[in-house]
């Protein structure tokens, strides 16, 4: 069976959509220094699928609801103190709820594994439409808020002077991040979506000083990472996550090397 057979078409389509969103959102994750939040929201959202399973509803609904709870927690607690502490407390709270929900069922181990590491080689045709819709919404929201979001990411003081409500902009960005991670979780998993957002975007930021080219480069690197990981996984039968994480780290290493050589 070929890696481009009808069985794999859904995988290529959905993985590409996830990679595009990860590349766009990941750029802002990097320049805002929100890597911890990008790690917290996927891990904090996956217990929502356990709650949805217990209630008999679509797991994607649980993912989005718990991602929303994480956004509210990080945003509200962040206003009361340091953001990284607020993010950690939100993660602990959500993982605690997840442990509680998982303890109430004995038939969820395979789904938990898939949500942590993804099932990119087992994507069904029913996954395409919701992933496509959420992808379009996430990218559209980033495009609509591009200038104030970029300004608040680079300098909160300058953004405030220009009339940007940085607190609401932070909340809005976290909501977009939560939406993107909830969409990607069933496909690439909580651990892989973090790798996919951080590695290519960090490299793109090092390779280009201009925002738009850097975003486009981040998307390209993210798509190449996913495509290469799927191909190598098909050939070697090794986990897709191994290649996604390894390639993400390799892109960042290349970016650092390029910066060092250019400086010399």
Per-domain residue ranges of the chain: 6-263
pLDDT of amino acid 67:
76
pLDDT of amino acid 128:
82
pLDDT in tens, the chain (264 residues): 566 666 678 888 888 998 999 999 999 989 988 777 776 777 767 677 777 777 777 777 777 777 777 777 776 666 655 666 767 777 777 777 777 776 776 555 566 666 666 666 667 777 788 888 888 999 999 999 999 999 988 888 888 888 888 878 888 888 888 888 777 776 667 667 778 888 899 999 999 889 999 999 999 999 999 899 888 888 887 877 788 888 988 999 999 998 888 887
Q: CA–CA distance from 177 to each of 15, 23, 127, 244 (Å)?
A: 17, 12, 19, 19
Predicted TM-score (pTM) of the model is 0.82
Residues near 178 by Cβ (< 8 Å), separated by ≥ 6? 41, 45, 64, 67, 68, 70, 71
pLDDT of amino acid 4:
66
Region class of 164: left (phi > 0), else alpha (psi between -120 and 50), else beta: beta
pLDDT of amino acid 201:
93
* Domain 6-263, CATH homologous superfamily name and number: ABC transporter involved in vitamin B12 uptake, BtuC (1.10.3470.10)
Quick one: tokens of 257?
């090397």
């Amino acid at each position: 069976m070929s890696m481009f057979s009808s069985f794999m078409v859904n995988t290529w389509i959905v993985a590409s959509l996830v990679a595009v969103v990860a590349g766009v959102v990941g750029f802002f994750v990097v320049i805002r220094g929100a890597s911890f939040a990008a790690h917290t929201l996927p891990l904090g959202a996956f217990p929502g699928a356990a709650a949805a399973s217990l209630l008999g509803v679509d797991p994607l609904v649980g993912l989005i609801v718990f991602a929303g709870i994480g956004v509210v927690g990080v945003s509200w607690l962040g206003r009361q103190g340091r953001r990284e502490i607020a993010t950690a407390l939100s993660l602990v709270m959500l993982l605690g709820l997840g442990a509680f929900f998982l303890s109430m069922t004995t038939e969820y181990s395979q789904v938990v594994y898939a949500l942590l590491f993804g099932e990119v080689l087992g994507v069904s045709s029913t996954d395409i439409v919701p992933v496509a819709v959420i992808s379009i919404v996430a990218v559209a929201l980033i495009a609509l808020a591009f200038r104030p979001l970029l300004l608040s990411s680079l300098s909160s003081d300058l953004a405030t002077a220009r009339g940007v409500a940085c607190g609401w902009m932070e909340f809005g960005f976290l909501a977009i991040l939560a939406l993107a991670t909830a969409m990607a979780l069933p496909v690439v998993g909580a651990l892989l979506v973090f790798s996919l957002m951080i590695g290519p975007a960090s490299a793109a930021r090092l390779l280009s000083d201009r925002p738009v080219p850097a975003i486009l480069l981040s998307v390209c690197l993210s798509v190449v990472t996913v495509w290469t990981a799927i191909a190598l996984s098909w050939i070697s039968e090794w986990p897709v996550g191994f290649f996604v994480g390894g390639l993400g780290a390799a892109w960042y290493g290349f970016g650092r090397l390029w910066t060092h050589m250019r400086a010399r």
